[in-house]
A and B are shown apart, each in its own frame.
Chain A
Amino acid sequence: MSAATTTPAADVRIPLRAHLRHTGALVRRNLLWIRQDPESMFDALLMPVVFTLLFVYVFGGSIGQALGGGQDGYVQYVIPGMIAMMSMTLSQGVGTGFSQDFNSGVMDRFRSLPIGRGSVLFAKISVELVRMLFATAVLMIVAVLVGFHITHWGGLFAAVALSAVFASSIMWVFLTLGVVLKNAQSVQAMGFLVLFPLQFGSSIFAPTNSMPGWLQNFTDYNPLSTLADAARGLMVGGPVAHDLWVTLAWSVGITAIAAPYAIHKFRTKN
Chain B
Amino acid sequence: MTRIDNNAVSVRGLVKHYGDTKALDGVDLDVRQGTVMGVLGPNGAGKTTLVRILSTLLQPDAGEAVVAGYDVLRQPRQLRRVIGLTGQYASVDEKLPGWENLYMIGRLLDLPRKDARARADELLERFSLTEAAKRPASTYSGGMRRRLDLAASMIGHPQVLFLDEPTTGLDPRTRNEVWTEVKAMVGEGVTVLLTTQYMEEAEQLASELTVVDRGKVIAGGKVEELKARVGGRTLRVRPVDPLQAPPLAAMIDELGITGLAGTAVDGESGTLLVPILSDEQLTAVVGAVTARGITISSITTELPSLDEVFLSLTGHRASAPQDAKTTDDRQEVAV
Where the two chains meet, the residues of A that have a C-beta atom closer than 8 Å to any C-beta of B are 1-12, 14, 18, 21-22, 24-26, 28-29, 32-33, 36-37, 104-115, 268, 270
User: In whole angstroms, what is the CA distance A22 to B66 when docked?
Assistant: 26
For this complex, 14 residue pairs linking A to B, each with C-beta atoms less than 8 Å apart, are A3-B68, A3-B159, A4-B6, A12-B77, A29-B96, A104-B91, A105-B91, A106-B94, A109-B105, A111-B56, A112-B56, A112-B80, A113-B109, A114-B110
Among B39-47, B81-89, B279-287, the one that faces the other chain is: B81-89
A3 touches B69 (CB 8 A): yes
Give chain B nearest CB distance to A6 CB in angstroms.
6
Which residues of the other chain, B, contact A270 by a CB distance below 8 angstroms? 52, 58
Shortest beta-carbon contacts, A-B, top 3: A25-B107, A3-B69, A3-B68
Judged by a CB distance under 8 angstroms, whether B59 is at the interface is yes
The answer to whether A113 and B108 touch across the interface, beta carbons within 8 angstroms, is yes
- Beta-carbon contact of A268 and B59 below 8 Å: yes
Q: For A107, list chain B residues within 8 Å (CB).
A: 91
Interface residues of B in 235-290 (CB under 8 A from A): none
Separation of A61 and B33 alpha carbons in the complex (Å) = 77
Pair B83/A112 contact, Cβ less than 8 Å: yes
The one of B55, B74, B75, B110 that contacts A18, using a Cβ cutoff of 8 Å: B110
Shortest distance in angstroms between A171's beta carbon and chain B's nearest beta carbon? 20
A111 to B105, CA, bound (A): 12
Residue of A10, A24, A36, A110 near B96 (CB, 8 A) is: A36
How big is the B interface, by class?
35 or more
Q: Which residues of A contact B104 (CB under 8 A)?
A: 25-26, 28-29
Complex interface: chain B residues within 8 A of A22 (CB): 107-108
- The listed residue (A2, A5, A9, A110) touching B108 by CB distance below 8 A is A110
Do the beta carbons of B57 and A11 come within 8 Å of each other?
no
Known: A29-B104, A36-B96, A108-B85. A5 touches B110 (CB 8 A): no
**B57 interface neighbour in A1, A7, A9, A111, Cβ under 8 Å:** A111
Q: Which of A3, A25, A105, A110 has the most CB of B within 10 A?
A: A3
* Residues on the A chain within 8 Å of B66, using CB: 8
Does B292 make an interface contact (CB < 8 A)? no
Docked pose: A270 CA to B94 CA in angstroms: 22
Contact residues in A for B85 (Cβ distance below 8 Å): 108-109, 112
Name, among A7, A24, A112, the residue most crowded by chain B CB atoms within 10 Å (CB to CB): A112
Assuming the contacts A11-B78, A112-B57, asked whether A6 and B3 have C-beta atoms less than 8 A apart, the reply is yes
Inter-chain CA distance A2–B96, complex, in Å, is 35
User: Which B residues are closer than 8 A to A by beta carbons?
Assistant: 1-3, 6, 8, 33, 52, 55-59, 66, 68-71, 74-78, 80-83, 85, 87, 89-96, 100, 104-105, 107-110, 136, 152, 159
Q: Are B95 and A33 interface neighbours, CB within 8 A?
A: yes
Chain A positions within 8 Å of B55 at CB level: 112
Contact B75 A11 (CB under 8 A): yes
Closest to B76 in A: A11
Give the docked Cα–Cα distance between A3 and B157 (Å).
13
Report B107 CB to chain A, min CB distance, Å. 4
Tell me, in angstroms, the Cα distance from A107 to B2 when the chains sit together: 34
Contacts of A21 in B (CB 8 A): 107, 110
Residues of chain A with a CB closer than 8 A to B76's CB: 11
Smallest Cβ-Cβ distance to A5: which chain B residue: B69
Closest to B106 in A: A25
Partner among A2, A114, A268 whose Cβ is within 8 Å of the Cβ of B109? A114
Residue from B69, B74, B87 within 8 A of A11 (CB atoms): B74
Query: How far, in angstroms, from A114 to B108 measured CA to CA in the complex?
Result: 8
Q: Find out whether the CB atom of A29 lies under 8 angstroms from the CB atom of B81.
A: no
> Nearest CB to that of B81 among chain A residues?
A114
**Interfacial chain B residues near A8, Cβ < 8 Å:** 1, 66, 70-71, 74-75
Extra inter-chain contacts (19) besides given A29-B93, A29-B100, A114-B78, CB under 8 Å: A3-B159, A5-B69, A5-B70, A12-B75, A22-B107, A25-B108, A26-B108, A28-B107, A32-B100, A33-B95, A104-B91, A106-B91, A106-B92, A107-B91, A109-B87, A111-B57, A113-B109, A114-B110, A115-B108
Q: What's the nearest-Cβ distance from chain B to residue A11, in Å?
A: 5
Q: Are A3 and B95 within 8 A (Cβ)?
A: no
Known: A109-B105, A114-B77. A32 touches B69 (CB 8 A): no
Q: How many angstroms from the CA of A106 to the CA of B93 in the assembled complex?
A: 6
Residue among A28, A32, A114 making CB contact with B95, cutoff 8 Å: A32
Contact A105 B1 (CB under 8 A): no
A49 to B130: give the CA distance in the assembly, Å.
43
Cβ-defined contact, A32 with B96, below 8 A: yes
Chain B neighbourhood of A36, CB < 8 A? 95-96, 136
B77 contact set on A, CB distance < 8 A: 11-12, 14, 114
A113-B92 in contact (CB<8A): no
A247–B94 CA distance with the chains assembled, in angstroms: 39
